[in-house]
Amino acid sequence: MKFVCLVYIDSVAIGALSEAEGRQLADDSIAFDWGLRDSGKLILAQPLEAPQAAVTVRQRAGKFSSTDGPFVEAKEHLGGFFLIEAKDIDEAIALAKTSPIMRVASVEVRPALEQVDSVTGRGRPEVA
């Protein structure tokens, strides 16, 4: 099964890190990603830019609008994700708990919905 692990960064905790601690956290996180990849568990991991770099796009009543920056002010913000393969939610949670990012973040572990067909009646293409 695939699980998306959404990393919510605690702005206060990450802001309190020294430059050296921030570098160490980045190095530890990269090593964690490589460990998961080498074990066959990691599909993709990607950090995200700060919320201020985001644009939120909406469609309401047939009209589009966009807003710069975060939609709401919050103590935590989506800072990245990793997509893993695990036998079940318990294994996915156990893997997420070993991430060094847990020092300054919470990780939401969510099963990916397996799409077997669509409204068109055609299945998803085979993954090579």
Q: Which residue numbers in the chain have pLDDT < 70?
A: 70-73, 115-125, 128
49-59 pLDDT, tens per residue?
988 888 888 89
Q: What's the whole-model pTM score? A: 0.81
Question: For the chain, give me the number of helices (H) and strands (E)?
Answer: 3, 6
pLDDT given at position 116: 61
Domains of the chain by residue range = 2-111
Give dist(CA 39, CA 28) in Å, integer.
16
Other beta carbons within 10 Å of 117: 9
pLDDT given at position 74: 75
pLDDT given at position 86: 97
pLDDT given at position 44: 96
94-109 pLDDT, tens per residue?
999 999 999 999 999 9
Say which CATH architecture domain 2-111 belongs to: 2-Layer Sandwich (3.30)
